[in-house]
Structure formats: C-alpha cells, structure tokens
Structure 1
Amino acid sequence: MTFQKLQTKRTYEEVIAQVRERLFSGTLKPGDRLPGERDLSVQLGIGRPALREALRALEATGLIILRKGKTGGAFISNGKARVIAENMSDLLRLSSISVDQLFEVRLWVQTGLARAACQRATKDDIEKLRQNVLEGESLHARGLSRQRIEVNVEFHNILAEATRNPVAQIVIRGLTDALKALSHEVGSYPIASLFDDRLSLVNALERKDEDAAAAAMERILKSTKPLYKRLEAQRLAAARTATAPVRAARIGRKPNGTSGKTTALKGTS
C-alpha cells in the first residue's frame, strides 16, 4: 500500500482525500494501521509537521484513531457516532440550530422508531428500558441530577438499539447528546409525567402495540420540549450577560484611548 505525492490542495485536505479514497475502495479497512510517520511523509512528499496536522484532522473526523507507545500509530477506525453527536451539540450551542428544529426532527424520527422497536425489541431490550426508567426515577428521588440526565438520555439510545438499525442509533445519539450537553451546561429537572410516560412506552413495546408506543413517545417529546426551550433561553441569556462587559468596554473606548461618550444636544433624541 503506497500513497501518491501531493499536488495542489491544502496538505491536510489531500491527505484526508487519499485516506478516504483507499478506505472506500476497500484498500484500507477498519483496524488497518497506516504506514509509520517517516514512511508516510516520504510517500506523500510532505514534512512531518504537515503530516501530523493531517493526521489530527483525520482523527477529528473520526476516520482514524491515534495511539501512542511502541504499538501505537494511526489506525483506521470503525466509524464514530461521537463525531456526529459532537457536531450536533456544537451547532446547538452556536445557535445554528434551535431546540424547536431539533424537536421537530425528533418527533418525525422517534415516533417511527418506537413503532419499529415494537416489531424488533427483545425481552432483554424491554427489561433494559424498564430498568433504565426505574434507575432514572431513583436518581431523581436522591437529587443526583447529573447522573439522572445521563440515564434519561440513555433511554433513547437503548430504544434505538432495539430497532437493530445502526443508522437509527447514530442519528438518535446525535440528537440526544446535543440536548444532554445543554442540560449539563445549565441544569435540568424532569417533567412530572416523564417516568410514567416512559413506562407506558415500555408497556406498549411489550404488547407490541405500535400506535400506543408512538403516542407515548409523542407525549414524552411534547412534554419535555418546553423544558429544553427554557434551558436554551437560560443559556443564551447567560451568554449575553458574559459578553456584555466586553461589548460595553469596546463601545466606551475609542482607538486613541479617549472615552466614546458623547454629549447629546438639548431637544434631540
């Protein structure tokens, strides 16, 4: 396996392109180790600093795993749902997407997912979901907020796993991890009916009642959406408060160091 010398693109972009090409063509497979740093830099015709930048970029995309030590190196990964989840979380934090938009997609996707789980969930899946609800309720009663958030979010991931569809699992993890990050950032508390609605969903799965399962999921999402909208508003308000002194300092300071204050003329506004 050899790589071609780079041509005109930015260095790290062309390295990524070559790795992707070999991965998708089957030349490279998950678990394969890339050539050592010295050999790979020679093959590509680039210096080691540029190669390291490219490898870090590949790691950020989730295509490779960098391991240290004697048996370390750059290895092709099996793909990481984490990358999608982190990107979704970043978009929510940057206000590129809103809670309204996120919940609209959740309603479309997760009601259908609940129907699929009715057909495919095993007894073990149903028991995992039931235990998850009971654990979340116990953590809430003990005031363990951070642990409860983790458990509550994991409910949706367990349900996605019950569909036996890896795409569903990746999508759901991306959607729910974004909201989990928001909850951890500004705090959260559960809706009063949350645990009862989740148990209703679990019972519907056990009966293989698709309509009841979809209806329970819809209740869960519609009841929790206002909570996340409040959390979103709190986060935005906190961000504005944090940046207000900086903005005020910039407005009140002119380039020559004099104050930016002006005196208004009487009779004008």
Structure 2
Amino acid sequence: MGEQPLVALLGPVRAGNAFEETVERLLQVIKLGVVAPGGKLPPERELAVQLGISRVTLREAIRALQEAGYLDVRRGRYGGAFVVYEPPLPGRGDLREVVRRMGPGELDDALTFRMAIECGAAQVLATTGLTEGRREVLRRRLADVNDAAPADYRRLDTAFHLAIAELTGSALLASAAADARLRVTDLLNAIPVLGPNIDHAAAQHAAMVAAILDGDPEAARRAVVEHLEGTAALLRAFLA
C-alpha cells in the first residue's frame, strides 16, 4: 500500500486508447495535487510499468502535457517531469463560471456521487482491520491538512480524502474516489479558503478519523455526511 493515492490513479490503462488514457491519468494526478506544484512525477521506467504502457507512449503523453503547460521536462541527472500547473486563485464569478460549464443538474449529480463514494469508503475502512502502519498514514494525512498553509490547503485536503479510499486496499474504490473528487475540484478551488470553514472542517475530519480508527462504520458515515453537507452548503452560499 502506497502512502499516496498514486497506485489507483496510475494503474494499467486500456490498450486501445493508451495515449488518451495516459494523458487523463496524469492530469488527474496533477489537477488533484497528488504531486504538488514543483514536484516530480515518478521515474519514467516506473511510471510506464505502473500504467502498463510503452515508454514511447508515456513520452508522447508527457510531451503533450508539457506543451499544454502542465509539466516541465528537464534532462540530466536531476531531471524528470516536474509539475508546473497551479490552480488559479479564486476570483469573483469563477464559481458561477465553473457551474455554467458543468451544465444543468451536473453539480447536484457530482455532489451526490461524491457523497455516496466517500461515505462508502469511510464505512469500509472502519470495518477493515487496519495495521498500525495504515493507521499512522491516516493520522499523518489528518495532521498534514490541519497544519496546511492556505495555499496548500485544498491539495492536502484532497490527499486526506483520497487516503481514506486508498487505505481500504480497493483499487476500484480508490479510483472512484479520485474521480468523484476531480468532478468537484474546480468548484472547490473557486472558493476562498475561509478560516471558520477550515475550523469546522478540521473538527469534522477528526471525527471521521476517530470513527474509522474506533471501527465504527455508522459514526464514520455520519461524520462524512456532516462534512460533505457543509461543503455543499458553502458552494450554494457562494452561488446565491
């Protein structure tokens, strides 16, 4: 079990659309902040094996993302593919524009999908006999988001939420959680990081972790519901 949600996101792609799916997988990693701005993707050889593709296909995908401004490829001993994409700072009207691009009904659908996936992941994890190592990963993800500077908050919040699904050991569930988060990432990035909301989220995150570590799936579900309902309320407030 990796400590970051790279295993599920970078699993084998289908051969028929290898280039397109590789670009999609790498964009997920970049836009979700799994690899932070300035951070480096795994080595080419390792990444090609994880994705089950040739290094030629991988290089084509990386070159496309470099041309699109998401990656910077550096050569030499300390080279590699470095993430240069950073989410834009939220501005007035950004959230409405994101919702407009999503289309009618898609916002509610995305929030419903996220609720179902994250509640299920927390419940499953609470019924899993977690090793001390996995328990420590969860505690560390919680500490990371609690200690995050405003500029890093969304990225580390994402890492915390994805860790819950990743730690279940189900690659399908972890992939679904990443998909659900990606559908609302642009929305969340369009909301300013507000102190009171971060305080509420910290208490809710702590309740989620406590319920999971106590092996209480119903309490874990309730904590996730409370947290995600708060996020939905904040979105609606900025859209009003």
TM-score, with normalisation over the residues of structure 1? Answer: 0.50
Q: Map 1:1-40 onto structure 2 (within 5 A).
A: 20=16, 30-32=52-54
1:95 aligns to 2:102 (yes or no): yes
The residue that corresponds to 1:154 in the other structure is 159
1:165 Cα offset (Å)? 0.9
Structure 2 SS opposite 1:94 = helix
Q: Map 1:128-147 onto structure 2 (within 5 A).
A: 128-139=137-148, 144-147=149-152
1:215 aligns to 2:222 (yes or no): yes
Instruction: Select 1:170's aligned residue among 170, 175, 196.
Output: 175
Q: Distance in 2 between matches of 1:34 and 1:177?
A: 27
Letter in 1 for 2:16: R
Gap change, CA 1:124 and 1:230, over 3 Å in 2: farther
Tell me how many residue pairs correspond in the alignment.
163
Q: Distance in 1 between matches of 2:119 and 2:191?
A: 27
CA contact (8 A) 2:110 2:183 kept: no
Gap change, CA 1:107 and 1:31, over 3 Å in 2: closer
Gap regions ≥5 residues in structure 2: 1-14, 19-50, 66-72, 76-96
Q: Distance in 2 between matches of 1:114 and 1:220?
A: 12
1:126 Cα offset (Å)? 2.5
The residue that corresponds to 2:118 in the other structure is 110
* Greater than 6 Å deviation, 4+ residue runs: none
CA contact (8 A) 2:126 2:213 kept: yes
Structure 1 SS opposite 2:127 = helix
TM-score, with normalisation over the residues of structure 2? Answer: 0.55
Q: Distance in 1 between matches of 2:233 and 2:17?
A: 45
Identity of aligned residues (%): 16
The residue that corresponds to 2:135 in the other structure is 126
Q: Distance in 1 between matches of 2:220 and 2:159?
A: 18
The residue that corresponds to 1:45 in the other structure is none
Aligned-residue RMSD, C-alpha: 3.6
Q: Distance in 2 between matches of 1:207 and 1:21?
A: 43
Gap regions ≥5 residues in structure 1: 1-18, 23-28, 36-54, 61-66, 70-89, 235-269
